[in-house]
Amino acid sequence: MHGSPDEHILERLLEDNAQLADHNREHFDAHGVTAFNFMSAPGAGKTLLLAATINALRDDYGCLVIEGDMVGELDADRLRELDIPAVQIGTGRSCHLDARMVARVLHEQPLAGTDLVFIENVGNLVCPAEFPLGEHLRVVALSVTEGDDKPFKYPVIFHRCDAVVFTKCDLLPYVDFQSERARRFISAVNPEARVFELSALSGQGLSEWTGWIRERAGLNRGRPAGQRQGAGHVHLAAG
Ligand SMILES: Nc1nc2c(ncn2[C@@H]2O[C@H](COP(=O)(O)OP(=O)(O)OP(=O)(O)O)[C@@H](O)[C@H]2O)c(=O)[nH]1
Ligand SMILES: [Mg+2]
């Protein structure tokens, strides 16, 4: 037998989580929902990015946000003020969401009329990478104020994502963030990752990003809201 007892406990924990994540994904699939897991360091701009993204997509897609924070409902309340449906998960002392927490929400939350579920993970560049939630696509937000070296220093989360969004690009004139350097680091750990550069505040770069979401959600999902009732039976095209 290899590894310490602690390693075995962790392995078991991750296996249990992976099984529950599969269960969540089946639930999303059965409802024709594409689910995204948004991860980043604290304050990188996930919530503002979600607000801007959903604002651009809401005429064509039913959207729901599952918010993960250790304490309180500040982010969910911010979104609700914008008429964006949001469910808050309080993780307590845990520094990441896990599949069990998301499963609890899914048991109570009707998904009829929902096409896209955006899960905002707890701000943390390490732990969320180890705990899949049942998402179809993973997004890492990297704000230009954090430094262009983060993909090199925190490779796991960048290795396991589908897209990286450089956020707060309106601040580029004031910080030393070399986009090409960050892109090189990302490409070294994950050549397949799509990289977007945008500002949720100014709207710069937003349409290319939302275009990617539309593409990955399946072209046939861009129906007017009133015709969305049959969404539960649509085959999930997103990978
Ligand atoms: N200048 C600028 N500020 C931004 C932008 N996006 C977010 N911010 C600001 O950055 C701060 C953090 O943004 P949030 O959206 O709360 O970040 P978050 O990743 O959701 O934060 P946590 O959930 O606490 O991890 C807020 O003061 C935002 O107004 C942007 O595009 N440009
Ligand atoms: Mg937030």
Interval between CA 203 and ligand 2 midpoint (Å): 18
Mutate to test the pocket of ligand 1, among 46, 48, 65 (most ligand atoms within 8 A of CB): 48
Q: What is the pLDDT of residues 204-238, one digit of tens each?
A: 999 999 999 999 996 444 444 334 333 333 333 33
What is residue 234's predicted lDDT score, i.e. its pLDDT? 32
Q: Helix, strand, or coil here: 163?
A: strand
Interval between CA 229 and ligand 2 midpoint (Å): 30
Ligand nearest to the backbone CA of 70: 1
What is the DSSP secondary structure assignment for residue 130, as one 8-state letter? G
Tokens of 170: 């309106």
**pLDDT, mean of residues 102-111:** 94
Q: What is the pLDDT of residues 112-169, one digit of tens each?
A: 999 999 999 999 999 999 999 999 999 999 999 999 999 999 999 999 899 999 999 9
Confidence of residue 2 (pLDDT cuts 50, 70, 90): low
Interval between CA 148 and ligand 1 midpoint (Å): 17
Ligand 1 binding site (Cβ under 6 Å of any ligand atom): 40, 42-48, 75, 123, 167-168, 170-171, 199-201
What is the DSSP secondary structure assignment for residue 116, as one 8-state letter? E
pTM of the model: 0.90
Structural domains of the chain sorted by starting position, each given as residue range(s) with its CATH number in brackets: 5-217 (3.40.50.300)
Name the E strands within the chain. 34-40, 63-69, 86-90, 116-120, 137-143, 163-167, 194-197
Tokens of 147: 């430094």
| Cross-strand partners of 126 | none
Q: To which residue do tokens 């990003």 refer? A: 209
Picking from 114, 94, 119, the residue whose alpha carbon sits closest to that of residue 32 is 114
224, burial (CB in 10 Å: exposed 0-12, middle 13-18, buried 19+):
exposed
Interval between CA 168 and ligand 1 midpoint (Å): 8
Interval between CA 185 and ligand 2 midpoint (Å): 25
Nearest protein Cα to ligand 1, atom 8: 45
Please say whether the beta carbons of 40 and 122 come within 8 A: no
Provide the b/e sequence for 106-134 (b: ≥16 CB within 10 Å): beeeebeebbbbbbbbbbbbebbbebbbb
Ligand nearest to the backbone CA of 41: 1
Q: What is the pLDDT of residues 33-74, one digit of tens each?
A: 999 999 999 999 999 999 999 999 999 999 999 999 999 999
CA distance 89 to 97: 8
Please say whether the beta carbons of 133 and 98 come within 8 A: yes
- Radius of gyration over every alpha carbon of the chain, rounded to an integer in angstroms: 18
Q: Helix, strand, or coil here: 66?
A: strand
Q: What is the pLDDT of residues 172-191, one digit of tens each?
A: 999 999 999 999 999 999 99
Please say whether the beta carbons of 102 and 131 come within 8 A: no
Mutate to test the pocket of ligand 1, among 37, 38, 39, 47 (most ligand atoms within 8 A of CB): 47
Measure the CA angle with vertex 25, ends 108 and 22; round to 5°.
110
What is residue 218's predicted lDDT score, i.e. its pLDDT? 66
